[in-house]
Amino acid sequence: MPDATSENRAQVYWWLSSLIASELDDAQLAHLFSDEMDLFISALGEEPELETVCEQFRQAVTALKQRQDFRLELAADYAHLFLGTAKNGALPYPSVYASDKRLLMQEPHHQMLKLLNENDFARAEGFKEPADHLAIILDLMGNLALKENVIAYQQSVLQSLLLNWLPEWQQDVYQHDAFGFYAAVAALVTRFCEADLTCLQTPEGN
């Protein structure tokens, strides 16, 4: 049975996945602005490695509330960053960063198809993105966090499908995100994955 730490890790991965999977709807935005979310971010920020990025995220959420039509404007930010072109945005696929020509459906995509099959992992119904979309990888990591005796497997996924491209992706989001909400999300995703790998590599994690 998963312990509390594993369950907490899974919840963070699933939440981060939901921030990247699509434009945020009214229910997600209401939750983002809630006291419950503020407590969640505060608890996450108690980890020294995450303190700075959690504070940046909190500030980004506060700024988001001040936008006149925040849902429409945030949806436009999402489309520009993640649904546009690799030249003018920050497409959330490791294939793009593994290819000199920034192409989709490269080796990371094939690797993810294999991992999804190995873990009998079904993508959310209606989510038609390529298998190596960041939201799918984070979702898979949440599921793996709940499995016992797969620490080395989790480390492998972090190293081969996340941390080898997330820092560059984070820089692209920062460069192209004029408002900054998704830049804060990208920083949080990257730093959490880095911190999680460090945790898994400690004697206690093994």
State the CATH number of the domain containing residue 116.
1.10.3480.10
**Residue 206: is its pLDDT beyond 60?**
no
Please report whether residue 11 resides in a domain. yes
What are the CA-CA distances from residue 142 to residues 17, 20, 121, 160, 195 (Å)? 9, 14, 11, 16, 15
205 — pLDDT class (breaks 50, 70, 90): very low
> What residues make up the domain containing 166?
4-201
pTM, entire model: 0.95
Please report whether residue 180 resides in a domain. yes
Q: What's residue 172's pLDDT?
A: 97
Q: How far apart are CA 102 and CA 57, in angstroms?
A: 28
Count: domains in the chain: 1
**Residue 81: is its pLDDT beyond 80?**
yes
Please report whether residue 114 resides in a domain. yes
Mean pLDDT of 189-195: 98
The predicted-structure confidence for 164-177, as pLDDT tens digits, reads as follows 999 999 999 999 99
The predicted-structure confidence for 121-147, as pLDDT tens digits, reads as follows 887 777 889 999 999 999 999 999 999
Please report whether residue 206 resides in a domain. no
**Residue 69: is its pLDDT beyond 80?**
yes
What are the CA-CA distances from residue 47 to residues 42, 127, 192 (Å)? 9, 32, 10
Mean pLDDT of 41-68: 97
Please report whether residue 143 resides in a domain. yes
Mean pLDDT of 17-32: 97
Please report whether residue 81 resides in a domain. yes
**Residue 34: is its pLDDT beyond 90?**
yes
The predicted-structure confidence for 109-127, as pLDDT tens digits, reads as follows 999 999 999 999 887 777 8
**Residue 103: is its pLDDT beyond 80?**
yes
Of the chain, the end-to-end C-alpha distance in Å amounts to 17
**Residue 42: is its pLDDT beyond 80?**
yes
Q: What's residue 122's pLDDT?
A: 80
Q: What's residue 1's pLDDT?
A: 53
Percent over 70 (pLDDT), the chain: 97
